[in-house]
Structures are given as structure tokens and as C-alpha cells.
Structure 1
Amino acid sequence: MPTPSLLATRLPPWLAHALRAQRGPVPWNAVLRGALAAVPLLVAVLAERPSAGVPAALGAMLAGINDRPGSRRSSVARLGLPAVAGSAGLLLGTALAAAAGGGRSLVVLPLVFGLLGLVAGAVSSTGPVASACGTQVLVAVVIGAGMPLPEPGPVRALLFLAGAGWLLLLRLVLPSPGGLGRGPYRLDGEREAVAAVYEAVAGLLRAVGGPGARAGRAALSAALDQAQDALAGPRLRRYASSAAERRLHARYAAAFPLAEAATALAWAGGTLPDRIVEGPLRLAAAVRADGPCGPLAAPARTDAGLRALDDALLRAAAAFDRPADTPPGRTDARSYVSVLRRVWSAAGREYGLRVALCCATSTVVAQWLHHDHWYWLPATTVFLVKPDLGPLASRVMCRAVGTAVGAAVFGALALLASGHLPLVAAVALCGALLPVATRHFAVQTAVVTVLVLSLVVLGGEPPASWGRLVESLLACATVLLVGHLPLPGRRGHAVRAALDTAVGAAHRYVGHVLDAREDHTGRAALRRDAYRSLAAARTAIDVSAAELPPVARHSAGSESVAGAVERLIDTTTACAVQLDHRAAELPSPHAELLATHLSELDRAWAVPAR
């Protein structure tokens, strides 16, 4: 029997992607939160107002989909902002239904949903939180316009917000595994993220000179990204934890020179002694314990990379053993301007237009069919059109299979049990499964299908497993058609926009290293931006490459550009280390190699830019 990797090489990319699933340990704390998220629904059922619990359960379900690993601080924005957007959408949808006359219109609703889809889609292209906000506001507008509940619009919106707020409260209050004894707000997620950075530094040093060096550098970049996101949330205890936060920020900053030195050593190759990883591992343990690191083993200072590593370890030891007085930085207003520019960029306009077409088309079809659950079709297309759920063909295939399985499971449940309490139990079970189900779109779809069908019955509507399957298949056909529809201009704007950002970040990093060699803080920020932009570009390329051939061909040649950017950034990092530890200018081999990589990037970038 062929191994999974061998089997994947024999399958087309779009099919191989649909068969892949994320791996990792079960997040038991998220599973517990998902089960407890059904408490508001249970309270409403016990109070004999099950329809009042439906909006709360919907809010909790959508928040549960966004409840990913990370710190408590970052979860405030990751769960809270989409919940506010969804609450506003539910209120707007209820008002639209009243204006359209019972939520029936072949003109007003498709037009409004299309305009909302255009704006929400463009906003969604700017980042993961914005994507969640855009999705929730569209889904909530459609549900508010079509789902017949006795509660008025403002009450529905408040109930939706209460359900999502209940899950967010659980995220903030419940302790993490192993976190008992220090209080609920003990920055455990942030400490774990920063500790993972030092462990990734050790992993890269261990891989130097071997085939895993490139993967180690990518893992280090991902760990730095996750720590940066974990530390970017609001300050939950402004006064009591300010010293701990400053200390953690200082320890995160102390990892930058270590990451730079490790990257330079990986670029140079060679063999390093095994004991060289002891220092970063001890720093990781100190971050988790929130204590001093103690004495660190110093590497031999035989070349620029090892001298840089030794200096970085000394500075890190000093940062760990003294109190940090520098407060956490604030977001520059220019970053908000950059976000607004990305909203109406070519990539934002392309995605927004496809979302608008999907919403408007599916609403027209659903209104023309004139059935009770017409809102299922546009709500399903909103989820299906999201590119951050994977390639289009993979999304459609997984959606169809997952809906069929979920509808069959709910049909069996409806035959075996009756009454409201079994449905509440099904909702609680589905909420508990969501954190694990999000690792594969088909499994997530099956779980959500059972949950949604349970809520439909609790809302006073008849069971409709067969109708749910038909609506999902119609949504799959709509999104598949619109996703491959030729639009004005060229395809592949998302990949080109990500590559353009990565190329610009790489050039800024090169210029800073050559022109401002003493500004280490600015250099660290630009290096982070360069590597993070490169990772985002590679993600966009991987998704595009797994599309069907008519779409995948539009991003042909993008991998060569990403490879040229990666070589340029790695070489620039090695040059920065050389400039720090030499009195003269760059050594000739480094300068020549840097010039070669710049020319290589210009040639590679000129091909897809035509």
C-alpha cells in the first residue's frame, strides 16, 4: 500500500489538498469551552423559550470557529470584533426583511447582499480578523433576513452578542492546562509563544549544516509571527500585570538578535557543536517559569556568526536578569492607512467582486425557488467563497461530502430521539468537536451541519436534512462557477499582491542594512516584516497552486520569485551579522552574492509582473 506522501505525489494538487488534514494535540481547554458554549441555549430551553437561545447559539458557534490557539489577549480581538460585526449584521438583516416584506424580494435583497458582499469581501482580504468580521456580518445579515424567529431585531442582535460574549468570557476566565495557581490572566499563552521562539532558535541551530536547515528557519519565522500576534492584544489587567507584560516584551525583543545570528549560521552552513542549543533552551525554560535564566554556555567566537550568537546570548541573559522598564509599543497610525490601501487594492477588489457575485446570484436563485429555508443558500456561499479555507476545488468537494455526512447523522438523530433536550445535547457535542473539526473543512462542515439543523428545529422549523444537502450542492455549484468566471483584468491578484508586499519588504530590509547599520531596532523590525511577508506570499502561492489548472496557471512562476526573495533575505541577514562584527565594509564574497540575489529577484519578478 503506498504511503500518504507517495500517494499525494500521484494525485493532482487540487485533490491531494482535499485529503490533507492538520495534525496536533487535542486542545482540551477549547473542547471544554465549546461544550460549555451551549449553556445559554440550555437556559433558554429550560425557560421554555428555545427560539431565544438560537441567536445565542449561533453567536457561540461562529465564535467557536474563531477560537484558535493563542493568547487570551489576542482572543479579545479574534473573537470579539467578529461578534460585534455579526451582531450588527443580524440587526441589519432583520430590518431588511421587514423592508422587503417578509424577506422576499428578487431585486432588493440580491442588490443589498451584493453591495455588502463587495465591501465585506474587500475588507476580508486585509487579514484573518478582518476576514472573520466580513464573513460574520454577511452570514448574520442573511440569517437575520431569512430565519423566522419571534424575537425582534434588537433582541436577536443582543442575544447573538451574548452567545459570542459567553464563549469569550470562558476563554478569558478558564485556566489553561497546567495553569492553575497563578490566576486566570497569567499571560500563559504569551509566555508559551515567546518560549516557542527560543525553542525554534535551538531547533534551527541544531539543523545547521543539514537538510532541515531551511525548514528550521521557516519554523523560527512562524514562531516569531505567533509570538508577535500573541503580544499584540489589549492589556487585560492594566496595572497588576504591567510589569509582567514589559518583562515579556523585553524577552521577546531579546530573541531577535538570537534569531538573526541563527539565520546567519544556517546560511553559512557548516557544523556546530551540540551544546550550542543549550543556551536558547534554557532561555525558553526561563520564559515559561517567568524567572531568571542563570548562567549560559557561551559558544566559541571563531567567526562572525558565532560571535553574533555569543553577543546575543549575553544580551538575552542581561535582559532576563534585570527588570524591564520599557512599556509595550503601540500600533503606528500608518499601519491603519496601509490596511485601508489594501482594502481597495487589486486583490481586494477581485475578491470583493467575487463575494458580491456569489451573494447576489445565490440570493436570486434562493428567492426564485421560494422555499422556507432560502437563506441557507447565500449563507453557505459566504463560507465557501473564503480563500483562507483552502483552494476552491478542495472547499467545494469537502463541503459537499461534509454536508452529506452531517445531514445523515442528523437524520439518524431525529429518528432516535425527540424533544428539545437531545437537540441541546447535540449542539453541546458539536461545540466540543469544533476545535478539532476545524483541522479539516469536510469534518468541520459535518459538525456545523448537525449543529445548524438542530438549531433550525429549536427555532420552530421542521427538520430539513435533505433540503440542507440540496442547498449546499447549489452553493457549491454557484461558488465553483463564479470562482472560475473571468473578470476584467488578470487573475491571481492575491498572489501578486502578496509577492509585491514581500519584494518591497525585502528591498527595504536590504537598504536599511546597507545604509543604517547602527540601527539594530529598526533592522529587527524590517527583518520581521520581510520574513512575515515572505511566509504570507508562500501561503498564497500554495493555495493557488492547489486550484484547478485553469486558475492555478495564473500564478505560474510565483514560486521562483518567492525563492529569490528568500535567498535575498537570508543573505541580507548574513551581511548584517558581518557588518556588526567587522570594522571594514562587507567582504567581497558577501557583497557579490547580495548583488547577484538582487539581480536574480529583479529578473524573476519581471516575468509574472508582465
Structure 2
Amino acid sequence: MPPWLAHALRTQRGPVPWSAVVRGALAAGPLLLVAVLADRTSLGVVAAIAAMLAGINDRPGSRRAAVRRLGAPALAGAGGLLAGTYAGDGLGAVALTLVLTGLGLLAGGMSAIGPVASGAGTQLLVAAAVGAGMPLPESGWARALAFLAGAGWLLVLRLALPTPGALTGDFRFDGERAAVADVYQAVAALLDAAGTEQATARRAALTAALDHAQDALAGPRMRRYASSATERRLHAQYAAALPLSEAATALAWAGEPVSGRASEGPRRLAAAVRENAPTGPLPAPSRSAPALRALDDALLQAADAFDQGGGGDLHTRRRSPGDLLRTALGVGGREYGMRVALCFGASAAIAQALHHSHWYGQHTHWYWLPATAVFLVKPDLGPLVSRVLCRAAGTVLGALVFAGFVAVLPRPEGLVALVALCGALIPVSTRHFAAQTTVVTVLVLALVMVGGEPQASVSRIGETLLACALVLIVGHLPMPGERGGHVRARLAAAATAAHAYLVHVLDGSDDRAARWTLRREAYRTLAEARTAISLAAAELPALARHSEGTDEVAALLERLVDTTTACAVHLDDTGRLDSRHSDLLRELLGELAVQGERVGLQTEIPGRAAAVHAGQSAGQRPSLTGRRRSRRGGWSGSVVR
């Protein structure tokens, strides 16, 4: 099966997010019902649309992280709705098209920054199209407030409702607690896989767990100096996992199996975090190698952190507004922006032309075409052909399902119930783009009918197929600059982070906090590059060829970061590198230079890193072996042999 077709058929797996299902059922449907009963149906439709869009972003994680993940796109959507409303009321078709094109350029550049910014860009454009084209009696400010109310209601549910099964204890931190526990569980899994073919995949899973925990703890009021004891303890437990993950990565890099006793300690720590309970005695591993000694010391530090419960640094990226602006204006941001702007502007122009033609009839929802194009043109939502196939299939199925429902449901109460049902299904449907499109299509068609418009299943199918054709054309058009710029931008960021981490380790610095921050950034940017590369590889061959060879560079960078981690652990124990580490570093640096040149990527490493010689990289570094703390006993977090 070709990659572009395999991706379209691939479905995410996992348990049903019952919490999100309950929130979805209590969001759009009840808001619409209240508006209908209050005779403000049009505002209820806007609020329900906002709740639907927020439900798409309502993913598993902590409550504090959800504030940014749901709130930032909602604010952008309200701004887009306000701008679209006043532009649609006061401008002609040509000027309106230019304004929407400019918004597409802005939102496309924003999408290169990260997932939250991408969600904000999507809602900005969708809401702008709705504001410009949906005939509503209310003013722009009233629509924007209704939009914020709809998204805000779902956010309130996210913060206030307890997770099923977490009714005891402080359930407000169950997302953070689960995320930190998953890190320790991933460390144990990596230790179990040391010396096997699964080690690479387990190391990638550990990186994903660390990224998730880092995001879960980084929300509002979950900063470095957290106020509550629970928050401080979670920060300390996360910080204690970093040296454990470092030692486990070094053991996996060595390629030799370790005893089951080594993974038992992290597994007990995971249970202690999950149950919010003391660790109990932790079995200490053998201290026969530098990485095993590092693991033993890390277990002692973790037991101390669990016992004391002090705060800890998240060792996360701290990007300034200037860094974000450079990302948005960089190669990847420009490529995003131009394609989104061209597709969004062209779809708006075509929709308005059809709206004033005899062929289009009396339908007033011309905004459907540009709004549909937004979800199709965003490159970070999946490969182009996969998005198009799933969108077309999901829309046809959703329109047929809605036509069957509308034939038997009473109005408007039956349609309101259908909106509530679709809201509950959205968190489950996000596992596949076609399933999500099916549910959203049914929900949107129901909202349109509640708002007073006729049944529009046929026109919905036609406009979606037209948007699919438009996006396919725009996606294959040549653009200024080099194709695959987003992939190369991600890979260049990963190379820069890997080089910064390597130079810090070879400098012989004793600043562990800085080292862990650089290590986290190196692995995190590598994961982002891997995601971009896998999406590009699943495109049609005409597009996939532009990113050929980047996966080999990413694999070399991963080996370099793994080797750097092993070097850091070895330097902590002995104070100098052995020939195995330095020879492999020289080999990897040479291969990176060759492979980077083939794909047009600059991977030149600064002088000290490029001049690695056996035993000389950290030859003057003082030995750290005398700095290990003595063991203590008699307390709940003791480590026993």
C-alpha cells in the first residue's frame, strides 16, 4: 500500500476519553437549547460553533494546559469573527477577498510556531469566514461575545468537572499526575528494552512522555515557584525523572541488557506518583558501569525528592516573542502562509462569485467553501491527499446521515439533541479525520437548520468537493523558495539544538540544569522534525520527493543526541571520554556533514564539537566521582540493596 493511502486509512488507538465525551455532551447542545428557549437562536448557533471548535482542541492532558490550548484559539476565533463581520458588512467582494487573503497569510505564518498557534490560526480563519458570510441580525461585538461564551463554557467544564474515577483526593491535578507517572513508566520500559530492537522505539516513547508531562505542568499557576504543596511535589517528581531518563538512555545506547531489578525502581516511582502515595523501599541496581551508577544515584535523588516534595524546574524552552516572530516569518512560516492565503482567498472569491450566480440559487452560506478550505489546506493537519480523501468521504457520509436524521426528528428539539450527540462524539472522532469530518458535518448541518435555513446536505457535498479540488491544485503549485521548507526548518532547528547540547557537554560544565534544558530541547525538536518528515513522506510522490533524505539526517541527529547523553553520563563518572564515545562522535559528525549537504541542510557544528579527539574533549574536566551523596536509611524513600 502506498504511504499516501496508508496514512488515510490509519486510525489512532487508545481508551475512550469519557471525560471529554461528557464535556462535549454538555457544551454545544445545552448552549443551543438555552438560546432557543430565550429566543436568541442566532447567538446560540455562534456559541455552539465555538464550543464545537473548542471540543476539537479538547485533548487529553492537564487542566492547566487546557487553558492555553482552548483559550488561545478561542480568543483568535473571536477576533476573526469580529473582523470578518465588519469586513463583510462594509466592504465589497473584491476588498473582502483581499482582507481574507491577508488573514490567511497571517494565520498560515502563525501555524508554523506550534500546535496551539496552529489551532488559533484555524479558528481565526473559520470564524472570519463565518462572520463575513453568515447572515445574523446581531452586531460583530455580540457575535464575538457569544463565540467567547461558547468556548469559555467548555473551558469551564474542563476545569471544574472531575475525571471519572478520580472523585477522591485533589482531582484538579489528575492530568498532571498521570503525565508524570507515565514518564517513570516509560523509563522502566526503556530499561527493560535495553539491548533489544525495541530500545529505539522505547526511547522515542520516553521523549513523548517527557514532552507531555512538560506541557501538562507548564500551564497557568504551574510555574517554577508553584504555590500549593501538590504543585511543588509534582514539579519535584518531574525534575527527579530527568536524571533517571538520562541514565536509562545511556544504558539503552550501550546496547547491553540490564537486570530486571534496574527497572523495578522507576516502576515503583510511577505507582507512587499515580496513587499519590509514598514510594517505599526502592531496589538499587548494580553499580558495575557508569550508566548503572548514574541510575542508582538518580534513584536516590528521586527518593529524596519524593520524600521532601520541593519544587523543581521544568527545564523547558523559553521562547521570546522575537523567537516566535522569527519562526512565523521563517522558511516554514512563509510556505505555510502563502499556501493558506492563496487557498483561503481563492475559495472566498469563488464562493462569492457563485453566490451571486444563478447556478448557486438562493443559498446564503457561501462561507462554507472558505471555511472548508481552511481545514484542508493546513499542512500540519496531515498529508494533503490524506486530508482531501478523508474530508470528501466524511462529508458525503455525514450529509447522508443527516438527511436520514432530519427526515424523522422533530424540530427544533430533535435537532438540538442531535447537536448534543455530535458534541459528545467529537472527542472520539478526532482519532481519524474522516470520522471527525462526518460528525462535524452532521453538527453543522443541524445548526444551519436550527438557525432557520433549509436542509443543505446536497450543497454541502458540492462545496466540499469543490474545496478539495481547489486545495489539491494549490498544494501542487510551485511557490517562491524551496519546496519542503517547513521540513527543513524543523530539521535545522533540531540540528541547532543537538549541536548546542553537544557543545555544552564537551565543555565540561557542571551546570546540570542547563544540560537538562538543552537535552530536553534537543529531543523535543527532533520529535517535531520526525513528525514533519513522516507527514511529508505520506504525500503523493510529486510532493514527497522534496523531503527525500531528511529522515536519514533525523536518524543521525537522534544517534548524535543519544551519544551525547551517554557521553554526559560517562563524563560525570570518569571525567573524560573513552575511545568508543569519541570515535562514534567523529563518525556521526562526518556522516551528518555528508547527509546534510545532500538534502541542502546546513549542519556544520561549531569548532569545539567538530574537533573531537579521543580522550581530549573533556580531558581537563575534574572528576565528579567524589561528589556522590551518602545513602540514608530509615525513611519512606530509602533505596535498599
The verdict on a shared fold, with TM-score over 0.5 as the criterion, is yes
Hey, what's the Cα distance between the residues in 1 that align with 2:109 and 2:311?
40
Q: 1:149–1:459: 8 Å Cα contact kept in structure 2?
A: no
Q: Is the Cα–Cα contact under 8 Å of residues 351 and 369 in structure 2 kept in the other structure?
A: yes
Corresponding position of 2:330: 345
Q: Using the alignment, how far apart are the partners of 1:404 and 1:42 within structure 2?
A: 27
Q: Please give the alpha-carbon distance, in whole angstroms, between the structure 1 residues aligned to 2:409 and 2:17.
A: 30
Within 2, Cα distance between the matches of 1:57 and 1:460?
Answer: 15
Give the match for residue 18 of structure 1. Answer: 8
Deviation at 1:458, TM superposition (A): 1.1
- Asked if the contact 1:172–1:184 (Cα under 8 Å) also holds between the matched residues in 2, the reply is no
In 2, distance between residues paired with 1:282 and 1:576?
26
TM-aligned CA deviation for residue 340 of structure 1: 1.2
One-letter amino acid matched to 1:431: G
Give the one of 165, 170, 181 matched to 1:178: 165
Which position in structure 2 is the counterpart of 1:75? 66
Decide whether aligned partners of structure 1 residues 328 and 346 sit closer, same or farther in structure 2, where only a CA change above 3 A counts.
closer
1:34 maps to what in 2? 24
Q: Which amino acid aligns with 2:260?
A: D
Q: Are 1:121 and 1:351, in contact at CA under 8 Å, matched by a contact in 2?
A: yes
- The corresponding residue for 1:419 is 411
- CA RMSD across the alignment: 1.6
- Find the residue that maps to 1:609 and give its secondary structure: coil
- The corresponding residue for 1:5 is none
Counterpart AA for 1:65: I
What amino acid is aligned across from residue 316 of structure 1 in structure 2? A
Q: CA deviation at 1:46?
A: 2.1
Q: Among residues 268, 281, 286, which one is paired with 2:254 in the alignment?
A: 268
Letter in 1 for 2:81: L
2:358 matches 1:365: no
Using the alignment, how far apart are the partners of 1:47 and 1:106 within structure 2? Answer: 34
Contact 1:174 1:184 in 2 (8 A): no
Matched, 1:517 2:509: yes
Deviation track 1:514-567 (CA, whole Å, cap 9, x = no partner) reads 103311111111111111111111110100000011110000110110111011
| Aligned positions of 1:145-184 closer than 5 A | 145-183=132-170
Code of the residue aligned with 1:364 in structure 2: it is A
Q: Distance in 2 between matches of 1:236 and 1:569?
A: 29
Match in the other structure for 1:6: none
Relative to 1, partners in 2 of residues 1:375 and 1:31: Cα closer, same or farther, differing over 3 Å? same
Distance 1:356-1:562 versus aligned 2 partners, 3 A rule = same
The code of the aligned residue for 1:587 comes to: D
Q: 2: distance between equivalents of 1:325 and 1:16?
A: 45
1:15 touches 1:394 (CA, 8 Å); kept in 2?
Answer: yes
Amino acid of the structure 2 residue aligned with 1:228: Q
Larger CA deviation: 42-51 vs 555-564: 42-51
Distance change (3 Å), C-alpha of 1:56 and 1:530? same
Q: Secondary structure at the match of 1:490?
A: coil
CA contact (8 A) 1:257 1:312 kept: yes
Q: 1:280 aligns with which of 266, 281, 285?
A: 266
CA distance in 1, matches of 2:309, 2:178: 20
Partners of 1:251 and 1:544 in 2: CA distance: 37
- Whether contact under 8 Å (2:65, 2:219) holds in the other structure is yes
One-letter code aligned to 1:159: A
| Aligned-pair CA distance for 1:214 | 0.6
State the TM-score, normalized to the length of structure 1.
0.95
Alignment of 1:531 onto 2:518: no
Amino acid at match of 1:131: S
Give the Cα separation in 1 of the matches to 2:109 and 2:212.
25
Q: Which moved more, 1:412-421 or 1:231-240?
A: 231-240
CA contact under 8 A between 1:91 and 1:153: conserved in structure 2?
yes
- State the shift of 1:330 in Å: 9.2
Contact 2:377-2:384 within 8 A present in 1 as well: yes
Q: Please give the alpha-carbon distance, in whole angstroms, between the structure 2 residues aligned to 1:310 and 1:166.
A: 48
Given that 2:494 and 2:526 are in contact with CA atoms closer than 8 Å, whether structure 1 keeps it comes out as: yes
Q: Check 1:515–1:208 CA distance in 2 against 1; reply closer, same or farther (3 A cut).
A: same
Q: Shift of residue 183 of structure 1? A: 4.5
Give CA-to-partner distance per residue, 1:117-176, whole Å, 9 cap, x none: 001110111000000111101110110110112222111111111011110000000001
Mapped pair 1:309 → 2:300: no
Q: Following TM superposition, by how much is the alpha carbon of 1:327 offset from its aligned partner in structure 2, in angstroms? A: 7.5
Whether 1:247 aligns to 2:238 is no
Distance 1:262 1:240 in 2: 28
From 102, 105, 124, the equivalent of 1:118 is 105
Aligned to 1:8: none
Q: Which amino acid aligns with 2:54?
A: A
Deviations 1:418-443 (A, max 9, x none): 31111111100100000010000000
Give the aligned residue type for 1:594.
Answer: L
Equivalent-residue separation in structure 1 for 2:325 and 2:470 (angstroms): 29
Q: Deviations over 1:311-365 (max 9, x none)?
A: 1101111111113155778974x53321111010011011100010001111111
Q: 1:383 aligns with which of 348, 372, 375?
A: 375
User: Is contact 1:263–1:574 with CA below 8 Å preserved after alignment?
Assistant: yes
Identical columns (%)? 63
Residue correspondences, number: 593
1:468-498 CA-to-partner distances (Å, cap 9, x unmatched) read: 0001001101111101100112100011001
Match of 2:114 in 1: 127
SS in structure 2 at match of 1:107: helix
Q: Structure 1 residue 50: deviation in Å?
A: 2.1
Instruction: Say if 1:449 and 1:96 are closer, same or farther in 2 by CA, change over 3 A.
Output: same
In structure 1, what residue type is equivalent to 2:117? A
Q: Distance in 1 between matches of 2:98 and 2:541?
A: 32
Structure-2 residue corresponding to 1:228: 214
**2:629 — aligned with what?**
none
Q: Distance in 2 between matches of 1:508 and 1:306?
A: 26
Aligned partners of 1:279 and 1:494: how far apart in 2?
41
Q: Which amino acid aligns with 1:305?
A: A
Alignment of 1:588 with 2:574, yes or no, is: no
The 5-angstrom pairing of residues 93-112 of structure 1 reads 93-100=84-91, 105-112=92-99
Give distance in 2, aligned partners of 1:273 and 1:207.
11
Report Cα offsets for 1:383-406 as digits up to 9, x if no partner: 111122210000000000000000
Letter in structure 1 aligned against 2:93: L
Aligned residue number for residue 292 of structure 1 = 278
Matched, 1:491 2:483: yes
Residue 416 of structure 1: how far off its partner (Å): 1.2
Q: Which residue of 2 aligns with 1:3?
A: none
Describe the SS at the equivalent of 2:282.
coil
**Equivalent position of 1:554 in the other structure:** 546
Instruction: Report the Cα distance in structure 2 between the residues aligned to 1:90 and 1:326, rounded to whole angstroms.
Output: 41
